Protein backbone atom coordinates (compact mmCIF):
# COMPACT_ATOMS: atom_id res chain seq x y z
CA UNK A 1 0.00 0.00 0.00
CA UNK A 2 1.37 3.42 -0.99
CA UNK A 3 0.70 6.14 1.59
CA UNK A 4 1.10 9.90 1.83
CA UNK A 5 3.38 11.48 4.47
CA UNK A 6 2.09 12.79 7.78
CA UNK A 7 3.53 14.32 10.93
CA UNK A 8 4.23 10.75 12.06
CA UNK A 9 6.43 9.93 9.06
CA UNK A 10 10.00 9.21 10.13
CA UNK A 11 13.34 9.26 8.33
CA UNK A 12 15.02 6.15 6.96
CA UNK A 13 17.77 7.64 4.78
CA UNK A 14 19.06 5.57 1.91
CA UNK A 15 22.77 5.12 1.24
CA UNK A 16 24.72 7.12 -1.37
CA UNK A 17 24.70 4.06 -3.63
CA UNK A 18 20.97 3.77 -3.02
CA UNK A 19 20.58 7.39 -4.15
CA UNK A 20 22.44 6.61 -7.37
CA UNK A 21 20.14 3.63 -7.97
CA UNK A 22 17.05 5.71 -7.17
CA UNK A 23 18.06 8.51 -9.56
CA UNK A 24 19.67 6.36 -12.22
CA UNK A 25 18.03 8.22 -15.11
CA UNK A 26 20.98 9.80 -16.99
CA UNK A 27 18.92 12.94 -17.57
CA UNK A 28 18.70 13.67 -13.83
CA UNK A 29 21.35 16.23 -12.85
CA UNK A 30 22.11 15.86 -9.13
CA UNK A 31 24.97 15.47 -6.67
CA UNK A 32 25.44 14.36 -3.06
CA UNK A 33 25.62 17.36 -0.76
CA UNK A 34 25.85 18.27 2.90
CA UNK A 35 27.20 15.72 5.34
CA UNK A 36 26.75 12.80 2.96
CA UNK A 37 29.13 14.47 0.51
CA UNK A 38 31.70 15.10 3.24
CA UNK A 39 31.54 11.49 4.44
CA UNK A 40 31.90 10.10 0.93
CA UNK A 41 34.81 12.40 0.06
CA UNK A 42 36.58 11.55 3.31
CA UNK A 43 35.97 7.84 2.85
CA UNK A 44 34.40 7.31 6.26
CA UNK A 45 31.42 8.58 8.27
CA UNK A 46 32.31 11.54 10.45
CA UNK A 47 29.24 11.11 12.64
CA UNK A 48 25.73 9.71 12.51
CA UNK A 49 23.30 11.68 10.34
CA UNK A 50 19.53 11.88 10.51
CA UNK A 51 19.03 12.23 6.76
CA UNK A 52 20.82 12.31 3.42
CA UNK A 53 20.96 15.24 1.01
CA UNK A 54 21.41 15.68 -2.68
CA UNK A 55 21.34 18.95 -4.60
CA UNK A 56 20.20 19.99 -8.03
CA UNK A 57 19.45 23.29 -9.74
CA UNK A 58 16.01 24.82 -10.15
CA UNK A 59 15.95 24.06 -13.87
CA UNK A 60 16.85 20.40 -13.27
CA UNK A 61 14.51 19.75 -10.32
CA UNK A 62 11.72 18.43 -12.54
CA UNK A 63 14.14 15.93 -14.12
CA UNK A 64 15.20 14.64 -10.70
CA UNK A 65 11.58 14.21 -9.62
CA UNK A 66 10.70 12.52 -12.91
CA UNK A 67 13.49 9.99 -12.30
CA UNK A 68 11.85 8.73 -9.09
CA UNK A 69 10.24 5.26 -9.11
CA UNK A 70 6.46 5.10 -8.81
CA UNK A 71 6.47 4.39 -5.06
CA UNK A 72 8.37 7.61 -4.31
CA UNK A 73 7.00 11.14 -4.45
CA UNK A 74 8.22 14.69 -3.82
CA UNK A 75 6.83 16.96 -1.10
CA UNK A 76 7.41 20.41 0.36
CA UNK A 77 6.44 21.87 3.73
CA UNK A 78 3.05 23.56 3.83
CA UNK A 79 2.34 25.09 7.21
CA UNK A 80 2.15 22.22 9.67
CA UNK A 81 1.69 19.66 6.92
CA UNK A 82 2.98 18.62 3.52
CA UNK A 83 2.09 19.57 -0.02
CA UNK A 84 2.87 17.42 -3.03
CA UNK A 85 5.39 19.25 -5.19
CA UNK A 86 3.18 18.53 -8.20
CA UNK A 87 0.39 20.55 -6.55
CA UNK A 88 2.56 23.51 -5.57
CA UNK A 89 2.00 26.80 -7.37
CA UNK A 90 4.56 28.38 -9.66
CA UNK A 91 5.49 30.87 -6.92
CA UNK A 92 6.15 28.18 -4.31
CA UNK A 93 9.68 27.94 -2.94
CA UNK A 94 10.68 24.27 -3.23
CA UNK A 95 13.35 24.40 -0.54
CA UNK A 96 13.94 21.73 0.45
CA UNK A 97 12.08 18.98 -1.34
CA UNK A 98 11.63 15.77 0.65
CA UNK A 99 11.31 12.42 -1.07
CA UNK A 100 8.78 10.06 0.47
CA UNK A 101 8.79 6.31 -0.02
CA UNK A 102 5.08 5.58 0.03
CA UNK A 103 5.54 1.82 0.26
CA UNK A 104 7.29 2.17 3.63
CA UNK A 105 5.91 5.56 4.75
CA UNK A 106 9.42 6.93 5.30
CA UNK A 107 11.34 9.98 4.23
CA UNK A 108 14.35 8.68 2.32
CA UNK A 109 16.01 11.72 0.71
CA UNK A 110 16.21 15.50 0.88
CA UNK A 111 16.71 17.48 -2.33
CA UNK A 112 18.20 20.96 -2.02
CA UNK A 113 17.71 23.41 -4.87
CA UNK A 114 20.87 25.34 -5.68
CA UNK A 115 21.87 27.80 -8.41
CA UNK A 116 24.08 27.55 -11.46
CA UNK A 117 24.23 27.84 -15.21
CA UNK A 118 25.79 25.76 -17.97
CA UNK A 119 29.33 26.76 -16.96
CA UNK A 120 29.43 27.32 -13.20
CA UNK A 121 27.90 26.46 -9.86
CA UNK A 122 26.65 29.61 -8.10
CA UNK A 123 26.28 29.98 -4.34
CA UNK A 124 22.58 30.59 -3.70
CA UNK A 125 23.22 32.90 -0.75
CA UNK A 126 25.63 35.15 -2.68
CA UNK A 127 26.13 34.89 -6.47
CA UNK A 128 29.62 36.39 -6.20
CA UNK A 129 30.81 32.94 -5.19
CA UNK A 130 31.11 30.63 -8.19
CA UNK A 131 33.02 27.54 -9.27
CA UNK A 132 33.25 25.64 -12.55
CA UNK A 133 31.11 22.51 -12.36
CA UNK A 134 34.10 20.18 -12.55
CA UNK A 135 35.44 21.75 -9.35
CA UNK A 136 32.10 22.13 -7.56
CA UNK A 137 30.97 18.54 -8.20
CA UNK A 138 33.38 15.59 -8.14
CA UNK A 139 32.91 12.11 -9.56
CA UNK A 140 33.68 9.66 -6.75
CA UNK A 141 33.36 6.10 -8.03
CA UNK A 142 30.50 7.05 -10.30
CA UNK A 143 28.55 9.06 -7.74
CA UNK A 144 28.48 12.85 -8.27
CA UNK A 145 29.56 14.43 -4.99
CA UNK A 146 29.71 18.06 -3.94
CA UNK A 147 33.25 19.28 -3.33
CA UNK A 148 34.04 19.37 0.42
CA UNK A 149 35.12 23.02 0.44
CA UNK A 150 31.75 23.98 -1.03
CA UNK A 151 29.84 21.98 1.61
CA UNK A 152 31.82 23.73 4.35
CA UNK A 153 30.85 27.13 2.93
CA UNK A 154 27.19 26.15 3.27
CA UNK A 155 27.82 25.16 6.89
CA UNK A 156 29.73 28.35 7.73
CA UNK A 157 26.77 30.72 8.03
CA UNK A 158 25.63 29.60 11.50
CA UNK A 159 27.74 26.57 12.39
CA UNK A 160 26.37 24.20 15.02
CA UNK A 161 28.52 21.86 17.13
CA UNK A 162 27.91 19.07 14.63
CA UNK A 163 29.09 21.36 11.82
CA UNK A 164 32.24 22.04 13.82
CA UNK A 165 32.82 18.28 13.93
CA UNK A 166 32.46 18.08 10.14
CA UNK A 167 34.86 20.97 9.60
CA UNK A 168 37.46 19.62 12.01
CA UNK A 169 37.44 16.26 10.22
CA UNK A 170 37.55 17.60 6.66
CA UNK A 171 39.61 20.78 6.77
CA UNK A 172 42.98 19.10 7.48
CA UNK A 173 42.43 16.79 4.49
CA UNK A 174 41.76 19.53 1.92
CA UNK A 175 44.37 20.38 -0.67
CA UNK A 176 46.15 23.70 -0.25
CA UNK A 177 44.16 25.16 -3.14
CA UNK A 178 40.79 23.96 -1.83
CA UNK A 179 41.53 25.25 1.67
CA UNK A 180 42.63 28.64 0.35
CA UNK A 181 39.43 28.90 -1.71
CA UNK A 182 37.31 28.03 1.34
CA UNK A 183 39.10 30.56 3.53
CA UNK A 184 38.67 33.35 0.99
CA UNK A 185 35.03 32.37 0.52
CA UNK A 186 34.02 32.61 4.16
CA UNK A 187 35.99 35.83 4.67
CA UNK A 188 34.17 37.36 1.71
CA UNK A 189 30.72 35.82 2.00
CA UNK A 190 30.41 34.98 5.71
CA UNK A 191 32.84 37.34 7.49
CA UNK A 192 30.82 37.17 10.72
CA UNK A 193 30.90 33.38 10.94
CA UNK A 194 32.64 32.02 14.01
CA UNK A 195 34.79 30.03 11.60
CA UNK A 196 36.17 33.17 9.96
CA UNK A 197 37.93 34.14 13.22
CA UNK A 198 40.50 31.41 12.62
CA UNK A 199 41.41 32.62 9.16
CA UNK A 200 40.89 36.38 9.41
CA UNK A 201 43.93 38.60 8.85
CA UNK A 202 45.47 40.49 10.59
CA UNK A 203 43.93 38.97 13.73
CA UNK A 204 45.07 35.41 12.99
CA UNK A 205 47.37 35.64 9.98
CA UNK A 206 49.34 32.52 10.83
CA UNK A 207 46.22 30.38 10.48
CA UNK A 208 45.21 31.66 7.05
CA UNK A 209 46.78 29.41 4.44
CA UNK A 210 46.41 32.05 1.75
CA UNK A 211 48.31 34.54 3.94
CA UNK A 212 51.05 32.23 5.17
CA UNK A 213 54.60 32.69 3.98
CA UNK A 214 56.91 29.77 3.50
CA UNK A 215 59.78 29.60 6.03
Is residue 62 situated within a structural domain?
yes
Is residue 2 situated within a structural domain?
no
Is residue 49 situated within a structural domain?
yes
Residue 37 pLDDT: 98
Is residue 122 situated within a structural domain?
yes
Per residue, the 3-state secondary structure of the chain, as one string, reads CCCCCCCCCEECCCCHHHHHHHCCCCCCCCEEEHHHHHHHHHCCCCCCCCCCEEEEEHHHHHHHHHCCCCCEEEEEEECCEEEEHHHCCCCCCCCCEEEEECCCCEEEEEEEEEEECCCEEECCCCCCCEEEHHHHEEEECCEEEECHHHHHHHHCCCCCHHHHHHHHHHHHHCCHHHHHHHHHHHHHHCCCCHHHHHCCCCCCHHHCHHHCCCC
Is residue 130 situated within a structural domain?
yes
Residue 198 pLDDT: 79
For residue 168, pLDDT beyond 70: yes
CB-hemisphere CA count at 13 Å for 187? 20
CATH assignment at residue 199: 3.30.460.40
Is residue 82 situated within a structural domain?
yes
Is residue 184 situated within a structural domain?
yes
Is residue 5 situated within a structural domain?
no
Mean pLDDT estimate for the chain: 91
What is the tally of structural domains in the chain? Answer: 1
What confidence tens digit (pLDDT) does each residue in 37-69 have?
A: 999 999 999 999 999 999 999 999 999 999 999
What confidence tens digit (pLDDT) does each residue in 96-128 have?
A: 999 999 999 999 999 999 999 999 999 999 999
Domain span at residue 157?
10-211
- Asked whether the whole model's pTM tops 0.85, one would answer yes
Amino acid sequence: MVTSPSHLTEWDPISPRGVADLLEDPGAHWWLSGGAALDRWLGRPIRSRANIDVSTTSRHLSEVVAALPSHCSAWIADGDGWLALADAGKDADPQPVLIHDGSADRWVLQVNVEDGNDRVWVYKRDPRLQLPWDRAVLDLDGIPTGAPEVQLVWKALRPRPEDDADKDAVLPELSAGARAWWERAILTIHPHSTWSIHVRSPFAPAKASWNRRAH
